[in-house]
Amino acid sequence: MKLYIIRHGETKLNALGRLQGWTDEPLNQNGKDLAIITGEALKEIPFDLVITSPLKRARETGELTVAASEKNFGRKIPIIEDRRIMEFNWGCWEGLGCLENNFEVPDPNYNIFYTDAFHYQGSPDGESVADVMERTADFFNELIANPDYQDKTILIATHGCALRAMLNPLYENRDSFWQEHVPYNCAVTIIDVQNGQAKITAKDKIYYDESLCFDHYKVIDK
């Protein structure tokens, strides 16, 4: 099994520096362009399946990323949705500004989300990072143990926090949740799975101009 795990492309709320979570925001034009560029770079990959978060920005990213592969191989790639790989749920804080120049989050401990994410609790009606780690681990462990997928190549379209939570057990430095930065939009991590054992072979790979990368982690005043 080979997995290509991609963070969604940019959205309007990303560009505005606002918490997005479960808010069902579509890709903006830049987000679509990044997904298309990424897809062109991966057009020789014979994807068998796309598994996506049901949120629009992830599904659109999955569809656009495999479009070139579909054309190249002359076949339609099935897409299935899984709620376990949705983004961190910010609850009543969804849509609030979260950068230094627009900060609106009513949480004096907000920076813990970046500095000590494993212990971040979130809003009263949202999730903790531990919740996201639990549901994404359930998804990932079930996936790599599925006998029907052992010879498949799968694109997984998900979100920044969900991606880091899902792959934390595979990182060399598991004590660093964010791995020094939030995954860039349309960054791809490649996983090889052999006999139920998963290994990262490429981490946070981008296929577009690096000057277009935006690092949320570095702009927060920690």
Residue 85: CB atoms within 10 Å: 27
Query: At 7, is the secondary structure helix, strand, or coil?
Result: strand
Asked whether residue 174 is marked as a ligand-binding residue, the answer is no
CA distance 162 to 166: 6
Catalytic residue from among 60, 87, 127, 159: 87
CA distance 12 to 158: 17
Asked whether residue 119 is marked as a ligand-binding residue, the answer is no
How many residues are recorded in the chain? Answer: 222
Strand-pairing partners, residue 7, are: 158
Sequence-distant (≥ 6) Cβ neighbours of residue 105 within 8 angstroms:
19, 93, 96, 97, 98
Asked whether residue 57 is marked as a ligand-binding residue, the answer is yes
Query: What amino acid is encoded at 124 in this protein?
Result: P
CA distance 163 to 160: 5
Please say if 40 is a catalytic residue. no
Please say if 134 is a catalytic residue. no
Asked whether residue 8 is marked as a ligand-binding residue, the answer is yes
Asked whether residue 10 is marked as a ligand-binding residue, the answer is yes
- CA-to-CA dists, residue 7 to 27, 81, 195, 202, angstroms: 12, 15, 26, 14
Catalytic residue from among 8, 60, 127, 159: 8
Asked whether residue 9 is marked as a ligand-binding residue, the answer is yes
Asked whether residue 11 is marked as a ligand-binding residue, the answer is yes
Dihedral sign from CA coordinates of 208, 209, 210, 215: negative
- In the sheet with 153-158, reading across from the earlier edge strand, the strands are 79-81, 49-52, 153-158, 2-7, 188-194, 197-205
Binding site per annotation, positions: 7-14, 57
> Binding site membership for substrate: which residues?
7-14, 57
Catalytic residues: 8, 87
